[in-house]
Amino acid sequence: MLPQRRHKNSERVRETRECPSHRKWVRGFACSMCGHAGTEANPIIAAHVRLGTLGGAGLKPSDRWVVSLCDECHTAQHRMGEKSFWLLKGISPQILAEEFARKSPHWPKLRAMS
């Protein structure tokens, strides 16, 4: 017989991996890939970088690892694969996400995230 299942405190996990105010700050920038400023039809989103972070298929990394992408570029990134997408312009998404995080007014909270 299995022992009683432990329940993770989802609020605690969310607290340590999410920073909505940082995501909002990142959405204030133009698209990191095409430079589009964002419109209602093609908004800027805070896209999570999975390459080289603790993210992967089915596991979203913390908000420390977000970059600004327009919706069209975000869709293209998912369609072609993250690595191929960023190679088009020779951009390192990890370095870019780290730059966003370090320059964010929310850096003290982000620094503690992995």
Where do the domains of the chain lie? 24-111
**What is d(CA 25, CA 35) in angstroms, rounded to the nearest whole number?**
16
DSSP string, 35-102: -----SSS-EEEEEP-TTSS-BTTBPPPGGGEEEEEHHHHHHHHHH-HHHHHHTTT--HHHHHHHHHH
Asked if residue 72 has pLDDT above 90, the reply is yes
The residue that leads in pLDDT, 58 or 99, is 99
Percentage of the chain exceeding pLDDT 70: 78
pLDDT in tens, 15-31: 568 899 999 999 999 99
The answer on pLDDT for 79 being more than 80 is yes
